[in-house]
């Protein structure tokens, strides 16, 4: 009897000697954002766990240098040799992106279980489009046509004739960009496209979900979350018609605190059409503090300033003679925005 007990103790000690706990973080290779609820499993074992809101995981393994399998909805599966405190990248799988819907609060659900027509434009698509304005990205959505009126102004069509009427709701992270009752056409003037991580377009009436301003549909801009690894990027654009734009973005996670700050300044002067100058400055700050693996406080701070002349039409005779004089030189559009949202 004593021999059996001693053997059992030695066996447990032997297993404990080879077992180890692997810690690490998993993030999106495109945006560097944490991947939430990714399944991490030891190969040929029942040991498994999932990542938390910070993309962090702890996995107790039965071997010293195990192989681990990582899988997540809309990402390619990964098999790697595990070591402690590693950062692991997951690559989006374009073949499965449209089978999963990400709702306004970032929760995932299957397309078959979603009673609305919704398309998600991924960070990969946004990056590959190399768009100068958000219209070029949104127009990748079937059944949607956003017409560029110049100076980041637009008309919109989602499964109905093009209009400037307030039939569509524009949001950032599920929060309306403009207050209810304020004309929501041209709300994109207050969007900082350099901090947009992905876009959701809901096609058709969704007033029962988003309120009375979503009569014809809704466009939700998912803003960039703090990055797991420190990142910084900047860009400069210009053309031969007086357009210039500078943009930047930087983010990191330090302990329980994470941030992402991005901004842009753009200016149009002396264009081919008279009375079409404009300038825009906007900056976004997304802050997160993780109290526990399941509890976090999120804050969004947005500042935007926009001022544009409103050029009119060009007479046909003047147009064919290459004399692009606007018929309107007295109107303008001005928008100043300061928004703060805090969510537990």
Task: Read off the pLDDT of residues 212-241 as tens digits, 9 standing for 90 and up.
Answer: 888 899 999 999 999 999 999 999 988 898
78 burial level (CB within 10 Å; 0-12, 13-18, 19+): middle
What was the pLDDT predicted at 6?
52
- Whether the pLDDT of residue 11 is over 50: the answer is no
Average pLDDT over residues 165-185: 86
Task: Please give the pLDDT value at position 14.
Answer: 47
User: What does the domain layout of the chain look like in residue ranges?
Assistant: 2-90, 97-223, 231-343
- Give me the numbers of helices (H) and strands (E) for the chain, helices first please: 5, 22
Quote the pTM value: 0.81
* CA dist., res. 119 & res. 138, Å (int): 10
pLDDT tens digits for range 332-344: 899 898 989 888 7
Q: Is the dihedral of CA 150, 152, 157, 161 positive or negative?
A: negative
Q: Looking at 204-242, which runs of residues are DSSP E strands?
A: 217-223, 231-238
Q: Are 147 and 156 in contact (CB under 8 A)?
A: yes
Please state the φ and ψ torsions of residue 319, each to the nearest 5 degrees: -65, -50
pLDDT of residue 5: 54
Give the homologous superfamily in CATH for domain 2-90: Carboxypeptidase-like, regulatory domain (2.60.40.1120)
Q: What pLDDT is attached to residue 119?
A: 86
The pLDDT of residue 17 is above 60: no
Q: Which two tokens stand for residue 77?
A: 């599966």
User: Which candidate, 164, 190, 165, places its Cα nearest to that of 175?
Assistant: 190
pLDDT at 185 over 50: yes
Q: Give the architecture-level CATH label for domain 97-223.
A: Beta Complex (2.170)
Which residues neighbour 33 within 8 Å (Cβ) at sequence distance 6 or greater?
27, 55, 197, 224, 225, 226, 227, 228
Q: What is the largest CA-CA distance in the chain?
A: 108
Q: Which residue has the tokens 């050029």?
A: 311
Distance CA 230, CA 307 (A): 34
Specify the pLDDT at position 7. Answer: 52
pLDDT band at 15 (very low <50, low <70, confident <90, very high): very low
Closest to 282 measured CA to CA, from 147, 177, 183: 177
User: Reduced to 3 states, what is the DSSP secondary structure of residue 208?
Assistant: helix
CA distances 32 to 38, 63, 79, 107, Å, are 15, 29, 19, 19
Phi, psi dihedrals of residue 9, rounded to the nearest 5°: -65, -45
Alpha-carbon distance of 155 to 165, in angstroms, equals 8
Locate 158 and state its tokens.
């989602």
Mean pLDDT across 269-285: 90
Question: For residue 16, what pLDDT is reported?
Answer: 46
pLDDT at 128: 84
Quickly state the pLDDT bin for 140 (edges 50, 70, 90).
Answer: very high
Give the C-alpha distances (Å, rounded to integers) separating 266 from 137, 182, 270: 19, 25, 14
Asked if 268 and 242 touch (Cβ cutoff 8 Å), the reply is yes
The answer to whether 90 touches 29, Cβ cutoff 8 Å, is: yes
């Amino acid at each position: 009897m004593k021999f059996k007990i001693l053997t059992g103790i030695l066996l447990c000690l032997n297993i404990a000697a080879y077992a180890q706990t692997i810690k690490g973080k998993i993030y999106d290779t495109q945006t560097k954002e944490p991947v939430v609820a990714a399944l991490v499993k030891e190969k040929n074992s029942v040991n498994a766990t999932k990542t938390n809101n910070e993309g962090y995981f702890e996995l107790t393994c039965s071997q010293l240098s195990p192989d681990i399998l990582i899988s997540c909805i809309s990402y390619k599966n990964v098999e790697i040799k595990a070591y402690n405190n590693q950062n692991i990248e997951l690559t989006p799988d374009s073949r499965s992106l449209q089978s999963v819907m990400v709702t306004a609060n970032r929760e995932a659900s299957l397309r078959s279980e979603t009673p609305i027509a919704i398309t998600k434009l991924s960070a990969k698509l946004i990056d590959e489009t190399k768009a100068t304005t958000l219209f070029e990205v949104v127009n990748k959505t079937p059944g949607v046509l956003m017409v560029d009126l110049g100076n980041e102004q637009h008309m919109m069509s989602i499964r109905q004739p093009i209009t400037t009427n307030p039939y569509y709701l524009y949001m950032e992270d599920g929060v309306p960009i403009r207050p209810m009752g304020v004309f929501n056409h041209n709300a994109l003037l207050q969007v900082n496209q350099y901090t947009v991580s992905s876009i959701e377009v809901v096609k058709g009436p969704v007033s029962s979900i988003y309120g009375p301003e979503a009569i014809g549909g809704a466009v939700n801009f998912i803003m960039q979350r703090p990055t797991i690894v420190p990142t910084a990027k900047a860009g400069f654009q210009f053309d031969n018609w007086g357009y210039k734009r500078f943009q930047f973005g930087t983010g990191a996670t330090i302990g329980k605190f994470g941030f992402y700050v991005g901004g842009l300044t753009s200016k149009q002067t002396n264009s081919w059409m008279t009375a079409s100058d404009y300038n825009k400055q906007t900056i976004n700050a997304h802050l997160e503090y993780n109290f526990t693996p399941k509890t976090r406080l999120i804050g969004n701070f947005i500042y935007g300033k926009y001022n544009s002349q409103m050029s009119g039409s060009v007479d046909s005779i003047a147009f064919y003679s290459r004399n692009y004089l606007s018929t309107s030189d007295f109107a303008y559009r001005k928008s100043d925005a300061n928004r703060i949202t805090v969510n537990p």
